Structure 1
Amino acid sequence: MSSTLLFSSLSILLQGLLATLLLSVASIAGGTLIGLFAAVLRSFGPPGTRFLAKLYTELFRGSPVLITLLFIYFGVSYFGYAIDVFAAGVVGLSVYQGAYIAEVFRSGIEAVPKGQWEVSQILGLSKLQTFFSVVLPQTGKIVLPPLIGQYLSLIKDTSIVSMIGMSELMHGGQAIVDRIGKPVEIYGLVAVLYFIVCFPLSQWVRRHDRRRSVLQ
């Protein structure tokens, strides 16, 4: 590959990487909020909301992410509304990954000793105050490593958003291959860029797990 082609390819890939990062950050924020809300409903909500939260998590964990993205992108248009591919990607990934994040949060909430609730009630705290002041901070420490792992999965799932036409990293790589060929070199660069983004997070999770095992 000539230096000119390499430079132009890198420019396109870096633009795609920026789009991937923006999509990832927005989807992580959305998926975390949805997942936490679903976990709270499933753990503390009335029977009706517990059933709906369980139905939500089971439905999306049992279906491919591509189906979710296609349903949102084309489903909104079917009802006469227009939706941007970036917005469709954020909504689709947030809703889909939120189902997995909900299970991460739920396991963390259930791992907090029940005695914490009893002590908080003795101290005069309401259930809401107990959850936000006592339970949630402990839950955050428990779920952080698996939560980061789920975020890594979300970042890699952004490549599927190219199927609805968003110009993210994978879409940029495909466009370059269609134009100049060289699939091994181009997809190799795409893989390296994904690795650069994901590797530091995966290393942090490993160090955190080792630190916890030593403390225990």
Structure 2
Amino acid sequence: MVQTLGFNQILILLEAFRWTLALAAIAFVCGAVGGLGIALIRTSVFGVLRRAAATFIIVFQGTPLLMQLFVIYYGLPLLNVTVNAWIAVAIGLTLHASAYLGEIWRSTIMAMPKGQEEAAKALGLKYWDRTVYIVLPQALRMALPSTVGFLVQLIKGTSLAAIIGFTELTRAGQIVSNATYQPLIVFSLVGALYFALCWPLSHFSFNLEKRFANAR
């Protein structure tokens, strides 16, 4: 039975948009924690840990996100670990975000002027104190435009969750489109919702980058 595009269908899209927001938020927050750990490991003095973190980054940056989601969703049950689509997507996006944010933040940590760390050493500050109180606050501030830019990409990347059956905004658009036979209108609404979320973040990232460039 063909349905008309009405209030109920729009509610379905808005509900799925809420899940898209939740998924992006969880992946970004957990990915930020993981990324910070990777960035610190990559800049540490422990060679074995540095190489392990570098391998992690190479794997998750060098393979498609869609493939990573497939491996987690279909691979974990082979290890007798059953996960639903929501958990699988959250894990996949978190690992993906950890790799990219870890590399973004590592590059800004490495870009810090060496004189500041040398001055901190001269004052007798230990490695942890130098990192927490001197290096990280400045490095993360420098990385803010790139971090916000990655968040935009992560939000759009949540659309791949539809492939393994999780009903986020893109999947909801497919469902409503199949029910109403109005794909142009439905996906115009879907695109408008993505745009309403991503464009302000992209604009914010651009302004931050321009402000920091002017400050330098």
Shorter-chain TM-score bucket reads over 0.9
Task: Tell me the TM-score normalized by structure 1.
Answer: 0.95
Aligned-pair CA distance for 1:148? 0.5
Aligned-pair CA distance for 1:100? 1.3
- Equivalents in 2 of 1:93, 1:70: separation in Å? 12
- Give structure 1 regions of 4+ aligned residues with deviation exceeding 6 angstroms: none
1:86-105 to 2 correspondence within 5 Å? Answer: 86-105=86-105
- Equivalents in 2 of 1:8, 1:80: separation in Å? 39
Residue 111 of structure 2 aligns to which amino acid in structure 1?
Answer: A
Match of 1:84 in 2: 84
2:50 is aligned with 1:44: no
- Equivalents in 2 of 1:179, 1:189: separation in Å? 15
1:79-158 to 2 correspondence within 5 Å? Answer: 79-158=79-158
Q: What SS does the aligned partner of 1:5 have?
A: coil
Aligned-pair CA distance for 1:54? 0.8
- Equivalents in 1 of 2:91, 2:108: separation in Å? 25
Aligned-pair CA distance for 1:4? 6.0
Superposition RMSD in Å: 1.4
Match of 1:159 in 2: 159
The Cα offsets for residues 157-204 of structure 1, whole Å up to 9 and x where unpaired, read as: 000011111111011001111212111111111000000111111111
The Cα offsets for residues 93-119 of structure 1, whole Å up to 9 and x where unpaired, read as: 010122111110011101111111111
The Cα offsets for residues 123-157 of structure 1, whole Å up to 9 and x where unpaired, read as: 12110011001000001111000011011100000
Q: Tell me whether 97-106 or 61-70 shows the greater mean CA deviation.
A: 97-106
In structure 1, the gaps of 5 or more residues are: none
Aligned-pair CA distance for 1:45? 4.2
Match of 2:33 in 1: 33
Residue 142 of structure 1 aligns to which amino acid in structure 2?
Answer: M
The Cα offsets for residues 38-67 of structure 1, whole Å up to 9 and x where unpaired, read as: 111111141111111111111111100011
Match of 2:58 in 1: 58
- Equivalents in 2 of 1:114, 1:175: separation in Å? 55
In structure 2, the gaps of 5 or more residues are: none
| Structure-2 change in CA distance of 1:49 and 1:161 (3 Å) | same
- Equivalents in 1 of 2:189, 2:41: separation in Å? 43
Residue 61 of structure 1 aligns to which amino acid in structure 2?
Answer: Q
- Give yes or no for contact 2:144–2:208 (8 Å, CA) kept in 1: no
| Structure-2 change in CA distance of 1:45 and 1:13 (3 Å) | farther
- Equivalents in 2 of 1:208, 1:190: separation in Å? 28
Residue 146 of structure 1 aligns to which amino acid in structure 2?
Answer: S
Q: Tell me whether 97-106 or 137-146 shows the greater mean CA deviation.
A: 97-106
- Give yes or no for contact 2:177–2:186 (8 Å, CA) kept in 1: yes
Q: What SS does the aligned partner of 1:152 have?
A: helix
